[in-house]
Structure 1
Amino acid sequence: MRVYLPCTLPALAQAVKAGELGPAPLTGYAVTPALTEWYASGDTEELEYVALTEAARASLRMLAADRADGVETAFRRVVVAAEVPERAVSAGVDLEERARVRLADPIPLAKVAAVHIDDHEAISDIEAAVAALPAADEGDDDARFTVDGAEAHELMWYATQEIPDLLGS
């Protein structure tokens, strides 16, 4: 089963060093039965895009947490796509996040299929979205527009052998 795991560049560097994404439990996003039922007209590719988008939103929140903690990072959303056995994934029942899943164990880097990351051109919009998150969460429509604007940027796809290059950029 393909699972999309929200990440940041510092967390990806830490995963490379450790040889796995963790610690567990991990929150990821996947094509769940609830997502399939809700998005009845979509094919598998469309449903995977929904899961990827949900993971990118979670990555934005991870960037906000890093910023609050004083962690130095480039404002680029990162999503790690991994292939994991279905038995390792438990789907939630959250109607707001139908694609959200839990993984009880760390994910070995050998299970990573690809990394999706914002292009450098998106950095200023992602930084603005991170700054706008608190106001957006309180219902500010202008802030919500700024946060939603981050999704106008498509994440770039990178093969696993390109991860060292991503961490150097």
Structure 2
Amino acid sequence: MRVYLPATIAMLRDLEANGEFRARSGTGFALTPALREAYVSGSDEELEYAALLDAARASIRLIAAEEKAEPRRVVVSADVENVTLRSDLDAPVVRLDGPVPLSQIAAIHVDAPEATEAVAAAADVIDAADLGDEDAEFALGDAEDHELAWYAPQELPFFLELL
């Protein structure tokens, strides 16, 4: 199953150093049966993209929690076998049973440098957005308007070197 794992730049550095990715609390997002049921229509590709966007929003939460985090959303796409569906948490949520080796990572999605200001602002107000603050929701939307760039796993060392 293709899973989308929220991450930070620091977590990418750990991936490069250790050769495996450890999802925070083992949480990921995927095209689950519950996600498919939540949408009236949509191709698999569109629903996978929705799961990726949920992971990108979770990345903002990780940035908010990480002191001195680089304000760029990161999502690691991986193909893993053993996941537990967690629709009790939200339709696309899955739980991994352990770390994901680099060999199972399909792609890494990262914000371009132009998004850092919007992502930093969103990280500052993400909790308020969850509580319905309209200004905070607007700031979150500004960050989510930026598309994530795509990198192959073998490009990770070069990407990190250029930061």
Q: Tell me if both proteins adopt one fold, taking TM over 0.5 as the criterion.
A: yes
What is aligned with 1:123?
116
Q: 1:120, CA displacement in angstroms?
A: 0.6
RMSD (CA atoms): 1.5
Could you state the TM-score of these two structures normalised by the residue count of structure 1?
Answer: 0.90
What is aligned with 1:135?
128
Decide which moves more: 45-54 or 13-22.
13-22
What is aligned with 1:79?
75
Looking at structure 2, the residues matched to 26 and 44 of structure 1 have their Cα atoms a distance apart, in angstroms, of 24
| Letter matched to residue 88 of structure 2 | D
Looking at structure 1, the residues matched to 133 and 125 of structure 2 have their Cα atoms a distance apart, in angstroms, of 9
Looking at structure 1, the residues matched to 24 and 57 of structure 2 have their Cα atoms a distance apart, in angstroms, of 20
Runs of 5+ unmatched residues, structure 1: none
Residues 24 and 103, structure 1, Cα contact 8 Å, conserved in 2: no
Distance 1:30 1:13, change over 3 A: same
Q: 1:51, CA displacement in angstroms?
A: 0.5
What secondary structure does 1:53 align onto? helix
| Letter matched to residue 96 of structure 2 | L
Q: 1:135, CA displacement in angstroms?
A: 2.6
Moved beyond 3 Å, runs of 4+ = none
Distance 1:23 1:3, change over 3 A: closer
Counterpart mapping for 1:1-169 below 5 A = 1-22=1-22, 25-66=25-66, 70=67, 72-85=68-81, 88-94=82-88, 97-168=90-161, 169=163
Q: Percent identity?
A: 49
Residues 129 and 150, structure 1, Cα contact 8 Å, conserved in 2: yes
Q: 1:17, CA displacement in angstroms?
A: 1.1
Residues 6 and 23, structure 2, Cα contact 8 Å, conserved in 1: no
Looking at structure 1, the residues matched to 24 and 159 of structure 2 have their Cα atoms a distance apart, in angstroms, of 24
What secondary structure does 1:102 align onto? strand
Decide which moves more: 5-14 or 129-138.
129-138
Distance 1:152 1:22, change over 3 A: same
Q: 1:60, CA displacement in angstroms?
A: 0.3
> How many residues are matched?
162
Decide which moves more: 143-152 or 133-142.
133-142
